Structure 1
């Protein structure tokens, strides 16, 4: 197998964070580690992401994992616009946790209808 294929998550310019169904952070690509550096960065792997989210956010994440649905929205934080996509990941046909993609978007990002 091409080793570049396995290293692609660290070559992209967006954050990828993966947790299991209990909320334990299993993986953070380099961008994710940098985004969350002030909260521990790479040291967050093995910690529970529910501990650093509001009750409302924890409820949403748990609901997504229970139903297998995805959640996509945009935010502005500290003057940076982001698109957030949260989606369950599966193992043996069962929800095994959640993947979050956090992508910085430019101001006035175009929207096209195709």
Structure 2
């Protein structure tokens, strides 16, 4: 039952979430990610390498971040990109098991736009 709660949180996120294992295989994409990367294959990307979606320089940086994550259990978040057009910052986040061992990673998008929704607008 616990996994359903975690999946629900990820699936409800307005930002794309692509989760990868340490072999760089895409193991999960939330609905926002599937839609965002539709032109690159969408849901069909699950099971494929994230490295196929990046250039050589980006793949080298991914490897550098993974090596840094492995150095210390406290190394869990790296700022990787600023997208001015979408007004967002992008991070790589370590995923660890209960013992703190690195098991994968994901890319986190944090949008910086001021919220336009009214407070508690439920109509």
Structure 2 length as normaliser, TM-score?
0.73
Unaligned runs of 5+ in 2: 70-74, 115-123
- Cα shift readout 1:41-97 (whole Å, capped 9, x = no counterpart): 111000101012011111111111111143213113xx4232211112123432222
1:93 equivalent to 2:103? Answer no
Root-mean-square deviation (CA, aligned residues, Å) is 2.0
Q: From 86, 94, 100, give the equivalent of 1:80.
A: 86
Partner of 2:23: 22
Greater Rg by CA:
2
Mapping of 1:1-114 within 5 angstroms? 1=1, 3-68=4-69, 69=75, 70-72=77-79, 73-76=81-84, 79-91=85-97, 92-106=99-113
Question: Which has a greater percent of strand?
Answer: 1
Change (3 A) 1:36 1:103: farther
Q: How far apart in 2 are the matches of 1:103 and 1:44?
A: 22
Structure 1 length as normaliser, TM-score?
0.78
Secondary structure (helix, strand or coil) at the match of 2:10 reads: helix
Structure 1 stretches of 4+ moved >6 Å: none
